[in-house]
Amino acid sequence: MRIVIPDDYQDCVRHLDAFAKLKGHDVAIFTDTVTGVDALAARFAGAQALVLIRERTVITPALLERLPTLKIISQTGKVANHLKLADCTARGVAVAEGSGGPTATAELTWALVLAAMRHVPQEVARLKSGLWQHTIGRQLKARRLGVWSYGKIGKIVAGYGRAFGMQVWVWGRDGSIAAAKADGFAAAPSREAFFAESDVVSLHVRLNAETRGLVRADDLARMKADALIVNTSRAELIEAGALVNALKAGKPGFAAVDVYESEPVLGASHPLLALPNAVCTPHLGYVEQGNYELYFGDAFDNILAFAAGQPRNIANPEVLKP
């Protein structure tokens, strides 16, 4: 099969152990990003299979119309807002989903919490420039950690907070709060209290039409002047422009983010990168060796099964009907 893998930013896919599964197939890997139907159609010309790295590549109906040979899109992880199953089904393209683990993102979340609370990036940069101590950090013990959504990742982050001696409470839908209570965590009495009384707020909500802009400017304005908000989920969970404005106003005092509205962010073009009270990483949450082996191993297995006439993990099974 002709298999195309776009947006491999680090040129790491060919070095994974899982890549050996594609031996004998015609595989093209692209390490840069292009946008627009014409550019993507040229890049994907002749492809029978695409392997998409999460939501990095947007698949539109107009693009699908330009890809007559495409038979399967093998998704690393689950399908999100970068494509619609109905569009793929209409063009006769199967979409296979894979699995992924929550641990890598949860660990990065906690790394950002520690880095922001102790001003690690700023102090490292100053030391390398020949300077010495400049800031006073804050310990986590006895402070309040607010976790919005107690799913797979939120559950791990809440456990980290407990291990660090923090007072952990949870906010979210009824089912999320019930699951947290069953594990011995408290529920915030209200949305207002969740933001106003948490020293650290960490977002772990899935992005969809209902949750876009979920965190509003007035939520951020309620936070303490020395509080931290962490977002390793999706940038669009926060109302457009609200986080930058809030950090400039000083409430909350700090942010740590791993996600942006448009990625990749090149040329330091995002306004958060200009703020001294923001710690920013380039969407590293799920980018981890073991996680990649799992993601791509599943994606490649799904393609091989499809090619062998034994499709599996197809998210739009109706496309397989005669």
CATH number of the domain bearing residue 87: 3.40.50.720
Residue 55 annotated among the catalytic residues of the structure: no
Q: Are residues 231 and 310 in the same domain?
A: no
- To the query of whether residue 263 is one of the catalytic residues in this protein, the response is yes
The two three-digit tokens of residue 304, written as one number? 């091989």
CA–CA separation, 195 and 181 (whole Å): 19
The half-sphere exposure of 284 on its side-chain side, counting CA atoms within 13 A, is 14
Q: Do 19 and 109 share a domain, yes or no?
A: no
What is the C-alpha to C-alpha distance for residues 39 and 249, in angstroms, rounded to an integer? 41
Omega into 189 within 30° of 0, i.e. cis?
no
Q: What separation, in Å, do the N-terminal and C-terminal C-alpha atoms of the chain show? A: 22
Regarding whether 52 and 115 lie in a shared domain, the answer is no
Pick the closest to residue 40 from 56, 25, 54, 24 (CA basis): 56
**Same domain, yes or no: 116 and 234:** yes
The answer to whether residues 284 and 258 touch, using CB atoms and an 8 Å cutoff, is yes
Residues 8 and 94 in one domain: yes
Catalytic residue among 54, 222, 270, 283: 283
Torsion angles phi and psi, residue 100, rounded to 5: -165, 155
- The C-alpha atoms of residue 200 and residue 115 are separated, in whole angstroms, by 13
pLDDT reported for residue 80:
87
Dist. CA 203–CA 269, nearest whole Å: 24
CA–CA separation, 132 vs 150, rounded Å?
A: 40
Q: How many CB atoms lie under 10 A from the CB of residue 79?
A: 20
- Annotated catalytic residue 283: yes
Note the pLDDT tens digit of each residue in 257-296.
999 999 999 999 999 999 999 999 999 999 999 999 999 9
Question: 263, 270, 288, 318: which is the annotated catalytic residue?
Answer: 263
Kindly name the residue from 55, 234, 239, 270 that is annotated as catalytic: 234
Domain extent, residue 36, equals: 2-101+288-320
Tokens in use for 120? 């690690």
Spans of the chain below 70 pLDDT: none
27: its two tokens: 């595989």
Q: Do 276 and 298 belong together in one domain?
A: no
Same domain assignment for residues 18 and 139: no
Number of domains in the chain: 2
As a whole number of angstroms, the distance between CA 124 and CA 121 comes to 5
Distance CA 42, CA 90 (A): 21
pLDDT of residue 321: 86
Asked whether residue 167 falls in the same domain as residue 302, the answer is: no
- pLDDT at residue 218, as a whole number: 98
* Whether 135 and 201 share a structural domain: yes
Give pLDDT, residue 99: 85
Task: For residues 33 and 10, give the distance between their C-alpha atoms in angstroms, rounded to a whole number.
Answer: 12
Predicted structure pTM score: 0.93
Burial of residue 120, with CB atoms counted within 10 A of its CB: 0-12 exposed, 13-18 middle, 19 or more buried: middle
Strands 167-171 and 200-203: unpaired
The upper half-sphere exposure of residue 66, i.e. CA atoms within 13 Å in the direction of its Cβ, equals: 15
Residue 54's Cβ-count burial label (10 Å; 0-12, 13-18, 19+) is buried
Quick check: 230 and 200 in contact, CB under 8 A? yes
Please check whether residues 109 and 56 belong to one and the same domain.
no
Are 224 and 262 in the same domain?
A: yes
Q: Are residues 217 and 179 in the same domain?
A: yes
